Structure 1
Amino acid sequence: MAKVDTSSSRPYHIVIFGASGFTGQFVVEEVARIVSEGPNGTLKWAVAGRSRQKLDKVLEQAAGALGKPELRTEVEVIVADVGEPDSLAAMCKQAVIVLNCVGPYRFWGEPVVKACVENRAHCIDICGEPQFLESMQLNYNSQAADEGVYIVGACGFDSIPADMGVLYTREQFKGVCVCVPEGGSINDGTWKSAIYGFADSGKLRSLRKKFGHKPLPVVGSKIKRSALFYSNEVQQYAVPFMGADPSVVKRSQRFLLEEHQETPVQYGAYAGVGGVANIVKMLLAGMMFWFLVKFDFGRNLLIKFPEFFSFGFFSKDGPTRKQMEGSSFQFAFYGEGYTEGQDPSQGQPNAKIRTLVQGPEAGYVATPIAMVQAAITILNEPTALPKKGGVYTPGATFARTTLVERLNKHGIQFSVI
């Protein structure tokens, strides 16, 4: 097994791949803001993508938005194409960490993971697609461990607030926390993930069988919620959350059980949908969704017109900067467990905790913050990471680090309420 390296002499600490995409441009701005947080107070970084012209334009826009004219000349540009393996290899050889912003990941993500593993560059993505995330673990975990490489998926709004929020809730609980239902919000990325996820649900079940995992042990009472229920916690009707969070959290809990013998937390994710009128809209949207998602033409319609088919729950258009400034997200975690000395086998949980993770606009403000701070944590805290490389979740990678404290400093707040 190769030694894990997070501070090599490669030209760049970070290379942002897909920097000219809608999300990538905001990742560029976030990296430019935090260069002083790199190893020894500096950060060497570059942008990468298919078009040098578009990358130059992104740097020019970032320079204007941040008042940093030096970005136009001091940040290097690397031309790389996901369809050209040699260009990906050349890019990865120059980076300690690749921030992969090129999606959808189920179509374009694997070549980047493969190139990173083969060329010993760590990789962070913001994927919200369980099938891609789990298939990368199945196919590349052993090789990543051999090469000493960290491949960390779901490091954006999907699923750092949820995954780290569960760990934060358990850490703050005085005793054994065994159950954390969570209420959250939904965005366009989740809509696309749901479309592809439901269409390929059979493939995901088949993929999971290949791991051969036994069910995680259940401590205390099992979470039981119907598909639609009234939540006393949020005072509105709620439905199961369709994103990657449950899959990611469960994988983190399995890792912490197997590697550190920590009691696994049951986790349920739910989204508030409001009152009866919204429920009717949701049911109509659900029936159309279930019919259309089975067919190629239907999936294309769902992706092209999300606002229409979701009755306004989702929107395809990227927000303006003004809209982003007025947007925010909030996750509430309702934990239950047993106080120290209490035997979980002898009854219902006897203690509760409520925590909150909240922050700025989810897709294009909070996601770049989370992604970049994940990279900064890998660069600065190598001894707190898992002992060997592999394909990991955020919770597995950062459970022993100060990522939560770093996020708090950058506007994604974790608190007990």
Structure 2
Amino acid sequence: MATSKKYDVVVFGASGFTGQFVVEELGRVTSEEERGLIWAVAGRNQDKLNQVLEKASSTIGVDLKDAVDVLLADIENEESLNDMAAQAQVVLNCVGPYRFFGEPVVKACLKNKAHHIDISGEPQFLETMQFKYDEEAKKKGVYIVQSCGFDSVPADLGVLYTVKNFPGRINTIESYLTLNAGPEGAVGHYATWQSAIHGLANAEELRNLRKEMGTKKPLPKSGPKLENRGPAHWSEMLQKWCVPFPGADASVVRRTQRFLYNNGENCPVQFGAYACVSAFRYLVLLMVVGVVFGVMTKFSWGRWLLSKYPRLFSLGYFSHEGPTQKQIEGASFNMQFIGTGYSNTVLEDGDYDGPPNMTIATQVEGPEAGYVTTPIVMVQAAITLLKEMKKFPAKGGVMTPGTAYKDTSLVERLSDRGVIFSITAPAASN
């Protein structure tokens, strides 16, 4: 790939828990269809980075040690970050929690005109970066593309996929996430747990930021207001109990919808995100844990306890060690989208805003969410950026996945790698 930079891609934070899996996925891709891509790994410890390449080589059966360079870069050393970014066309930033470690990397990329892709699921960080750096990124022609992992590509591109396949005007879309654990169970990594702790603890800061940005103002609706389903509801279609999904999906989707509306590309879609629970007893347990978690995040001692003992307070679902390879291999996810709106036939008679008369169902499904799907998405997002930059909607800026990739082949690329978008029930009259 022709570029004035030495590397097409640099994986920063390669020796972290998620970074290891990103290196392995990039190694697979560059040993198969993307042989011409030149890349490097970066972090603060050369021995650990060499170990990452050794492990990745063993895992994928391809020797990476002579093909991939090692760069030293430390989040606390601005000069080293600038040196890394100066050599990269795209930096894949795997160092989280991003509220603590993300901004210096964004600044280095802007200064040295390197595109930046992260996998953050932290709305405050994401929206702060847009507020502070969007104009600078546009002026410099740099793309800061956010949330290019399980948070929140399936949701954001899943909504656009649903809209694209709807023969009319969609009013509302609700997503329903099911995480399927394998025989070995499921465990999340400590970094994700820590992000959730500080995200909830600083929720007021996010509300104030949105007021300052002017994004609290609701978008116009093309029909009835999306139903508020409360803290839990029963889905007849899925035959499962559902709770509001606490991740970044809703924030990211709404930012995409606002961008599209402001640019005259669509009528905004109202969006709600939910997670499915397999049994009522788990629903009760989840709500109790959620209340305890929410209260504890309000106090310094509570945050300390939550950080110190993630396995205890998450009932075993998060740990400092993260999942085992067997747990990862046995897991998968499914995200269902239920869209309602108006058929073209109804719209032909005027700007109809009565009850929606048509429904569609789509889905995104794939392997384990955090450490298989996320690396697949991040790597394909980087390759798509490198190959299809002319299809991006502007010359630069801080963007959501839906904003950046809406006109590209990313959905098809992901489907080829096992993260599959499909229609489960074509649009039909109610």
Structure-2-length-normalised TM-score: 0.91
CA distance in 2, matches of 1:171, 1:314: 37
CA distance in 2, matches of 1:29, 1:371: 12
CA distance in 2, matches of 1:274, 1:34: 35
- 1:34 CA displacement: 1.1
1:111 aligns to 2:104 (yes or no): yes
Which of 37, 41, 49 is matched with 1:55 structurally? 49
Which of 389, 398, 411 is matched with 2:405 structurally? 398
1:166 aligns to 2:166 (yes or no): no
The runs of 5 or more residues in structure 2 that have no matched partner are: 180-187, 425-430
CA distance in 1, matches of 2:38, 2:294: 47
- 1:346 CA displacement: 3.9
CA distance in 1, matches of 2:389, 2:407: 10
1:310 aligns to 2:308 (yes or no): no
- 1:302 CA displacement: 1.9
Task: Give the match for residue 204 of structure 2.
Answer: 202
Tell me which moved more, 190-199 or 312-321: 312-321
Task: Give the match for residue 3 of structure 1.
Answer: none
- 1:405 CA displacement: 0.1
What's the CA shift string for 1:220-250, capped at 9, x where partnerless? Answer: 1111122211111221221110000000000
What's the CA shift string for 1:313-339, capped at 9, x where partnerless? Answer: 555542222221111011000111111
1:232 aligns to 2:236 (yes or no): yes
Q: Is the 8 A contact 2:244 2:273 kept in 1?
A: yes
Task: Give the match for residue 255 of structure 1.
Answer: 259
Which of 27, 44, 54 is matched with 2:22 structurally? 27
Matches within 5 A, 1:69-218: 69=63, 71-185=64-178, 191-213=193-215, 214-218=217-221
Amino acid at match of 1:360: P
- 1:406 CA displacement: 0.2
SS of the aligned residue for 2:172 comes to strand
Which of 325, 334, 338 is matched with 2:338 structurally? 334
1:376 aligns to 2:383 (yes or no): yes
Task: Give the match for residue 10 of structure 2.
Answer: 15
Matches within 5 A, 1:275-354: 275-312=279-316, 314=318, 317-343=321-347, 345-354=352-361
Q: 1:305 to 1:258 in 2, by over 3 A?
A: same
Tell me which moved more, 336-345 or 371-380: 336-345
Give the RMSD, CA atoms, in angstroms: 1.7
Which of 352, 359, 368 is matched with 1:361 structurally? 368
Amino acid at match of 2:10: V
Q: Is the 8 A contact 2:178 2:277 kept in 1?
A: no
1:389 aligns to 2:396 (yes or no): yes
Amino acid at match of 1:115: A
Tell me which moved more, 297-306 or 384-393: 297-306
SS of the aligned residue for 1:277 comes to helix
Q: Is the 8 A contact 1:7 1:96 kept in 2?
A: no
Task: Give the match for residue 408 of structure 1.
Answer: 415
What's the CA shift string for 1:339-372, capped at 9, x where partnerless? Answer: 1032464411111111110000111100000000
CA distance in 1, matches of 2:264, 2:392: 13
Q: Is the 8 A contact 1:178 1:337 kept in 2?
A: yes
SS of the aligned residue for 2:263 comes to helix
Task: Give the match for residue 185 of structure 2.
Answer: none
Which of 220, 223, 229 is matched with 2:223 structurally? 220
CA distance in 2, matches of 1:53, 1:232: 53
- 1:310 CA displacement: 3.3
Q: Is the 8 A contact 1:125 1:152 kept in 2?
A: yes
Task: Give the match for residue 44 of structure 1.
Answer: 38
CA distance in 2, matches of 1:84, 1:185: 41
- 1:133 CA displacement: 0.2
Q: 1:193 to 1:218 in 2, by over 3 A?
A: farther
- 1:162 CA displacement: 0.5
Q: Is the 8 A contact 1:329 1:358 kept in 2?
A: yes
Q: Is the 8 A contact 1:246 1:268 kept in 2?
A: yes
- 1:414 CA displacement: 0.4
Amino acid at match of 2:99: R
What's the CA shift string for 1:191-226, capped at 9, x where partnerless? Answer: 443322210011001111111233211111111122
- 1:190 CA displacement: 5.4
The runs of 5 or more residues in structure 1 that have no matched partner are: 1-5
